[in-house]
Amino acid sequence: DIQMTQSPSAMSASVGDRVTITCRASQGISNYLAWFQQRPGKVPKRLIYAAFSLQSGVPSRFSGSGSGTEFTLTISSLQPEDFATYYCLQHNSYPWTFGQGTKVEIK
C-alpha cells in the first residue's frame, strides 16, 4: 500500500502569508495526486487534480506542483476563507490513500 506523509500537520499563518504544504508518497505515483480543502462541517472541495491542474472556479492563489513522490500545495497569499484543513490524495493505485491533513489556523 502507498503511504502519504503530509506535513506539517498544523500551522498558524496570517492573512497575506505564503503557505506551503507537502505530501510525500512512499512510492512513485506519477501525477495521480489531488488536493482537497475542507472547512469544518463541510464536504471536501477539490482544489488541484493531476498534481498541478487547478480545479475550475478555484482561485489562482492556489497552485500544485510535483511528480513521482514529492508534491506541494502552495497558497500564494492566504485569505480569511482559506483557513481550513487540507488533504492530499493519491489515486495511482488501490487502496487510495489520503494524507493525514494540514490544519491551517489563524495566527
State whether the Cα torsion 91-4-59-40 is positive or negative: positive
Which of 30/77 has CB closer to other proteins?
30
36: helix, strand or coil: strand
- Residue 17 or 45 having the CB closest to other proteins: 45
Cα distance between residue 63 and residue 66, in whole Å: 11
Q: At its nearest, how many Å lie between other proteins and the CB of residue 80?
A: 23
Rank residues 32 and 62 by Cβ distance to other proteins and give the closer one.
32
Of 15 and 50, CB closest to other proteins: 50
Nearest distance, CB of residue 101 and other proteins, angstroms: 4
Q: Which stretches of the chain bind other proteins, using CB under 8 A?
A: 1, 32, 34, 36, 38, 43-44, 46, 49-50, 53, 85, 87, 89, 91, 94-101
The half-sphere exposure of 24 on its side-chain side, counting CA atoms within 13 A, is 4
Report the distance separating Cα 102 and Cα 85, nearest Å.
Answer: 5
